[in-house]
Amino acid sequence: MKYMVDAQIAHFARKLKVKGIDCETVHMRMKGNEHSEAEIHDDEIVEFLKKAGGTITLITVDKDFVEGCIIDNVPCIPVWDAVAEYILKRIV
């Protein structure tokens, strides 16, 4: 499985790669560069993910974007869900 992070958390990509996770920024996956000043709209990202056929999952902190991904049946990991899961596993 491949992952990509939205521009708001672009720095996560390097940290995940260090852990052996195939993760890139949205800009790198879609444009082949890290020029984040070039805006990529949410609908473009959704279309890119749809074309990927479920092989790429988006990681994001954008609540509205997560809702859109759910509606469009696009693989998405909301950061708050990942954090909650991590915490809940350690409470036991």
pLDDT in tens, 31-90: 998 888 888 999 999 999 999 999 999 999 999 899 989 999 999 999 999 999 999 998
Of 6, 9, 2, 7, which Cα lies nearest the Cα of 51? 2
Task: DSSP letter for 33, please.
Answer: S
pLDDT in tens, 80-91: 999 999 999 988
CA-to-CA dists, residue 61 to 7, 8, 51, 64, 76, angstroms = 10, 7, 22, 9, 10
Q: Which two tokens stand for residue 61?
A: 């902190």
**Cα(51)–Cα(17) distance, integer angstroms:** 23
**Please, what are the domains in the chain?**
2-91 (3.40.50)
Q: What was the pLDDT predicted at 36?
A: 80
Q: What is the pLDDT of residue 92?
A: 65
pLDDT, residue 85, reads 92
pTM equals 0.90
